């Protein structure tokens, strides 16, 4: 028969294991953010080299800057710096969604001018998902007590 103390110990151990699994998942999701940053840098630098038009140049510069923000060391920042960096991450992530929507709209308009039809924008959707994933990941890495 288990005593109330052993039940409390077991519940505490289960809670700690769930927390460790959650923190491991956050590290994996943060790793995806670094991969996204690398991809954005490649896309941005390629866009800067090609330099086709005003929007393409804006998009290229934005991708490079957003990639830099994604790689900020949020876990090691002071509280004040973290708040500024986190607000920057939120704002740039929201703007990223609008930039990607504009990219898809321009691609569809260009395809319509050529008489073609594009499929579902899966790549852009994946980029949006991974970009928006970084906002709660950075928050929960900094404040893991909010996961409960």
Q: Is the pLDDT of residue 99 over 90?
A: yes
Q: Is the pLDDT of residue 16 over 90?
A: no
Q: Is the pLDDT of residue 58 over 60?
A: yes
Entry pTM: 0.79
Assign residue 115 a region (left: φ > 0; alpha: ψ between -120 and 50; beta: otherwise).
Answer: left
Q: Is the pLDDT of residue 13 over 50?
A: no
User: Of how many residues is the chain composed?
Assistant: 148
């Amino acid at each position: 028969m288990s005593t109330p103390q052993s039940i409390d110990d077991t519940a505490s151990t289960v809670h700690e294991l769930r927390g460790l699994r959650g923190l491991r998942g956050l590290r994996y999701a943060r790793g995806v953010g670094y991969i996204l940053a690398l991809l954005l840098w490649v896309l941005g630098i390629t866009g800067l080299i090609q330099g086709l038009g005003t929007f393409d140049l804006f998009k290229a510069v934005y991708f490079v800057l957003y990639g830099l923000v994604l790689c900020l060391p949020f876990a090691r920042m002071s509280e004040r710096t973290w708040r500024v960096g986190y607000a920057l991450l939120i704002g740039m992530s929201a703007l990223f969604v609008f930039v990607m929507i504009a990219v898809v709209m321009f691609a569809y308009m260009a395809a319509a001018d050529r008489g073609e039809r594009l499929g579902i924008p899966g790549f852009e959707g994946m980029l949006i998902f991974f970009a928006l994933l970084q906002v709660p990941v950075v928050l929960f890495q900094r404040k893991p007590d909010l996961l409960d």
